[in-house]
Structure formats: C-alpha cells, structure tokens
Amino acid sequence: MHDNELVNKNFDLEQGILRCWNVCDDIEDMIAVIQKNHTSQDDIITMLKGFRTVYHMRFERTFGIYEDVCRGLHGLRRDRAESQAVQDFDEVTEGVAKKPHAKMAKSKGQKAVDQ
C-alpha cells in the first residue's frame, strides 16, 4: 500500500469510527420516539433489531478498514526497514571501498591508518 493510499484509508477509518459513534445519538432518538408515541413492545424490538443490523454492518466495515490500515502500516515499516538496511549496507561498503588499504587499529585507542 502506498503512502497516499494509507493516508486515505486512515481518513476512512476515522470517518468510520465517527459514524459508529452515531449509535448514541440514534438511541437517544429512538428513546424520544418510544416515550412520545408509547410504542409497543413489538415495534421497539423491531427497531432494536434494525439498529443491531445497521451497526453490525458499520462496525464490520470500520474494522475491515482498520485491518487495511494495520496491514499498510506494517508494510510501510517493513519497506522502510529494508530500505534503511540497504542504505546502511551501501554506506558501509562505500566506506570500505574508499579505504581499501586501511589497517586495523592495534589497540582500542588507535585509529586505522591509511598506507
């Protein structure tokens, strides 16, 4: 997953979480309707089943986006670690290539000396 895709998925995740928070407002609305209309038990059960279905879908969708973001972050970390390892290797080999005749220091206090 590319950086832009990850940013978009992260935004989608945030929006999904915010949509899931709507459950609190929806319950408040349902309570108001029930109190005002003296709704029957069967109607209340029907409404609750509908809410359960809608929110189950929202949570499933949001969790799917969360999994996509996690996979993208893990991939990004792996790619950056691999890139850093290659860069570190290149720097080490470049240093060795510049000083092919460097002697190892005889003691810890001495530095390698070019011939």
Q: Is the pTM of this model over 0.75?
A: no
- Residue 114 pLDDT grade (very low, low, confident, very high; cuts 50, 70, 90): very low
Kindly provide the b/e burial profile for residues 17-37, where b requires at least 16 CB atoms within 10 angstroms of the residue's own CB.
eeeeeeeeeeeeebeeeeeee
Nearest to 30 by CA among 43, 20, 16: 43
Condensed to tens digits (0 to 9), the pLDDT of residues 3-54 reads 788 888 888 999 999 988 889 999 999 999 999 998 899 999 999 999 999 9
Condensed to tens digits (0 to 9), the pLDDT of residues 66-89 reads 999 888 888 888 888 877 777 777
